[in-house]
């Protein structure tokens, strides 16, 4: 079992989107169940699943469950049978701390904006050395100055990051409440995660 927490102190940086796409990509690739733990009080991951079910397109192999501090602290003992557990983390507090501490890996998504990058670094700095983590650049507009500067700053600071860059796509933007039909660059993110796990 691998527990992957997706977290960032900054809001609106595709945490929920990344969790739902990664869960679907994993289930599709392996044919195995994936557990998404919705630890964000906004309950966006749960809403995403509910909207999909209301529209008659349930997630077959992805379970979305709410998670509180107690669930999170006992996660490792309780979820032994799940291959991959993805945690949609809240922006701050004890629950974020617990979600980070229980993780095998923490993904810190950031868009290609300098302001988001500051928050990503702050989030990375708060993650204990013992927990591997990396920045994932999302909603990227390759070829723009902001994108170039973001990548240069990450390289300059030697910030661990995924080689995969998730591009800004209408298909992903409209993905909320649907079962993603295509994994896009999240398939490569999974490859890289599995490389770390091995």
92: contact with ligand ATP by CB under 6 A: no
Query: Which of the choices ligand ATP, Mg ion, none does residue 139 contact, using the CB cut-off of 5 to 8 A by kind?
Result: ligand ATP
**Of residues 16-55, those binding Mg ion (CB under 5 A):** 16, 44
> In this chain, which of 85, 102, 138, 154 binds ligand ATP, going by CB under 6 A?
138
14: contact with ligand ATP by CB under 6 A: yes
49: contact with ligand ATP by CB under 6 A: no
87: contact with ligand ATP by CB under 6 A: no
Q: Which residue number, 64 or 158, has a Cβ lying nearer to ligand ATP?
A: 64
Tokens 């209301």 belong to residue: 54
Least separation in angstroms between CB 13 and ligand ATP? 4
Give me 19's structure tokens.
Answer: 């969790």
CB 193 within 8 A of CB 136: no
Q: Which residue number, 6 or 154, has a Cβ lying nearer to Mg ion?
A: 6
No. of H helices and E strands in the chain?
9, 6
Query: Which of the choices Mg ion, ligand ATP, none does residue 151 contact, using the CB cut-off of 5 to 8 A by kind?
Result: none
Q: Which residue number, 99 or 138, has a Cβ lying nearer to ligand ATP?
A: 138
Task: Catalogue the long-range contacts made by 38-42 (C-beta closer than 8 Å, 24 or more residues apart).
Answer: 38/64, 38/65, 38/66, 38/67, 38/88, 39/66, 39/67, 39/68, 39/72, 39/87, 39/88, 39/89, 39/90, 39/95, 39/96, 39/99, 40/15, 40/16, 40/88, 40/89, 40/90, 40/91, 41/90
148: contact with ligand ATP by CB under 6 A: no
Size of the site for ligand ATP (CB under 6 A): 18
Angle of helix 114-125 relative to helix 145-156, nearest 10 degrees, comes to: 30
Residues forming the site for Mg ion (CB under 5 A): 15-16, 44
């Amino acid at each position: 079992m691998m527990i992957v927490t997706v977290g960032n102190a900054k809001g609106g940086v595709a945490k929920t989107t990344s969790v739902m796409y990664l869960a679907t990509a994993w289930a599709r690739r392996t044919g195995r169940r994936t557990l998404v733990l919705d630890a964000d009080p906004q309950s966006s991951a749960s809403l995403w699943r509910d909207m999909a079910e209301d529209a008659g397109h349930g997630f077959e192999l992805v379970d979305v469950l709410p998670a509180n501090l107690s669930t999170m602290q006992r996660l490792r003992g309780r979820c032994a049978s799940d291959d991959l557990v993805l945690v949609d983390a809240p922006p701050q507090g004890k629950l974020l701390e617990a979600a980070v501490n229980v993780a095998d890996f923490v993904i810190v998504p950031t868009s290609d904006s300098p302001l988001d990058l500051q928050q990503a670094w702050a989030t990375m700095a708060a993650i204990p050395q013992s927990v591997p983590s990396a920045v994932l650049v999302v909603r990227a507009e390759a070829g723009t100055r902001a994108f170039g500067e973001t990548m240069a700053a990450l390289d300059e600071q030697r910030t661990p990051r995924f080689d995969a860059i998730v591009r800004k796509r209408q298909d992903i933007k409209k993905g909320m409440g649907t079962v993603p039909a295509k994994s896009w660059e999240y398939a490569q993110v999974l490859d890289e995660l599995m490389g770390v796990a091995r």
